[in-house]
Chain A
Amino acid sequence: MVELQGVSVVYGTAYALCRVSLKVEPGEFVFLVGMTGAGKSTLLKLLYGELRPTEGRVFVDGQEVNRLREREIPFLRRRMGIIPQDYPLLPRKTVWENIAYGLRAIGYSQSAVRRRVAQVLAQVGLSEQANAYPHQLSGGEAQRVAIARALANNPPLLLADEPTANLDPDTCWEIVQLLQQINLRGTTVIVATHNRAVVDRANKRVVALDRGQIISDVPRGGYPAELDKLYPPVAAVAETPFLKRL
């Protein structure tokens, strides 16, 4: 489904990704974890063609993304659902209109839009809020709308960049459960996050990135110990005597 072969991305003289190779099979659920700046978002952007690698090759569904021309990228993106960090809802449109907007932009007929929006709203549990405006929603509900919009085209691959950011722990877990349900229906899901709690609890494949390189890749497990060694949790740091920390 997704494959990166020796991929590097260089911004100026800094490596955002350094010779990364990764393979994700169809139907997998993968967490990409790492600290801020580790290269998680860069990796996702490579998959949906927002960035091109400085070196290496990126494949999605057998298609080499880095060889696509700008006008071919939209057709790649129609085969994936994208939930980036900066994926805002349109404030003057209702939940229903927000989801319909994306479908209409890719040429769905009115009747197909009506049918599909009703389906995804039911899937994310927001049928009751169809006529609500974004400012009337909680953070978790707004994130569900973003997920519904990404799912609207029924894509085989879902890419989510920090979908649990700024949410309380219970809501975070609800969002991850929703993503797991979507995965159970056959959609490949790749989630970039640095939320330790949801990674520990979900017990899925975890790929850890640090300074642009993959430092661990475990088929099932919690937040990787390698990252803990490099960046001890705040609680652990707090317990270390002050002079030792220095």
Chain B
Amino acid sequence: MVDRLLFILSETVTSLRRHGMLQLAAISTACVALILLGSVGMMLYKLDAIAQSLPRQFEMEVFLKVQVPRERALVLQKQVGAMPEVARVQLVPREQAWEEEKQRYAGEVNLSDLPNPLPDKLIVHTHHPQQLPMVAARLRPHPDVDEVLDQRDTLERVLSVARLVRWVGLSLVSMLLLSALVLIYNAVRLTIFARQREVRIMTLVGATLRTIRMPFVLEGAVQGGMGGILAAGLVLLGAGLLSDYMLRLWPFLNDLPPGAPAALVLVGLPTLGMLLGGLCAWWAARRFVRIGSS
């Protein structure tokens, strides 16, 4: 058993060493396919995170009129809090809101000399997102309320875009996966043809199908794994550079939830590459390594 395992491993290593150009072709094929897969995967992960985070952020901001005194604001807070649909209501005093704004733009704009233009506001959370329009409709006519922002349209727009991107992305990933499978399959098929002599000898001396096919499967897994390692590095590098560039252009992107963790990419892509490579190699070996004919 150990001797056979050693034989299989030595065959794999010999083949990996000897057919340099074929290895390069297979590894680069796997790498390109996995870069595309990884990029689309990361994009989907990010969009999914945004989509997931939106319902949690689903809240309504009720801006009071500037001249409304604090006592009336507190009364209104109590009235809103008593509504059965409302889960929680928080009063944000205009002083606190102004301080937050000043800190947010610190270093960019000096707001300390300006008078506070902000009104008090209530942040209202309902038990269910569907209840927000109803509560908003009830609050809008209130004499102390200036404006109600319920973000419903924004949310729906983002969610529909996320849905679209998810479907398009999944279709794209499926197609890429298929083309990656075919490309790696083809590379392994070439390796099998390059090693026809060894295969012929093994079949004639009575080596089992598993012994003959296993080096190809391992070889495919190694090619896929190496392609995956390269792809993971390149995807992370690309994502880092792109992210830096976009954050410089649009600083508000910082508020979005983080993308796929680097560890997931570093482990996921090589593992996926190994599985894909091994699977394709097994498929090719099953097809092209036979012991007898009918």
Contacts and interface: CB of A to CB of B under 8 A. Distances in A.
Q: Is the interface of B mostly helix, strand, loop or mixed?
A: helix
Given A50-B292, A74-B291, A101 B204 contact: no
Contact of B208 (A52, A74, A152): A74
Interface of A: 48-52, 70-71, 73-78, 82, 84, 86-88, 90, 92, 101-110, 149, 152-153
Interface residues of B, number: 24
Interface string B188-216: 00000000011011111111110110000
Given A90-B197, A107-B3, A49 B205 contact: no
B4 interface: yes
Contacts of A75: 206
A78 B1 CA distance: 17
Contacts of B3: 104, 107-110
Nearest to B202: A105
A71 B209 contact: yes
B206 A78 contact: yes
A77 B204 contact: yes
Contacts of B4: 107
Contact of B207 (A49, A105, A149): A105
Contacts, number: 81
B154 interface: no
B205 A70 contact: no
Contacts of A74: 203, 206-209, 291
Contacts of B18: 92
A1 B255 CA distance: 82
Contacts of B7: 104-105, 107
Contacts of A110: 3
A71 B208 CA distance: 7
Contacts of B203: 74, 77
Contacts of A82: 204-205
A144 B273 CA distance: 45
A110 B4 CA distance: 10
A128 B202 CA distance: 26
A135 to B, nearest CB: 14
24 contacts: A48-B204, A49-B291, A49-B292, A51-B293, A52-B292, A73-B291, A73-B292, A87-B200, A87-B204, A88-B201, A90-B197, A101-B198, A102-B205, A103-B205, A105-B7, A106-B205, A106-B211, A107-B4, A107-B211, A109-B3, A110-B3, A149-B205, A152-B205, A153-B205
B294 interface: yes
Interface in B264-294: 290-294
Contacts of A101: 198, 201
Nearest to A48: B204
Contacts of B205: 77-78, 82, 102-103, 105-106, 149, 152-153
Given A71-B208, A107-B4, A102 B293 contact: no
A103 B201 CA distance: 11
Contacts of B197: 88, 90
A131 B140 CA distance: 96
A77 B200 contact: no
Contact of A70 (B1, B204, B206, B209): B209
Contacts of A92: 18
Given A51-B293, A52-B294, A70-B290, A77 B206 contact: yes
Interface in B4-23: 4, 7, 18
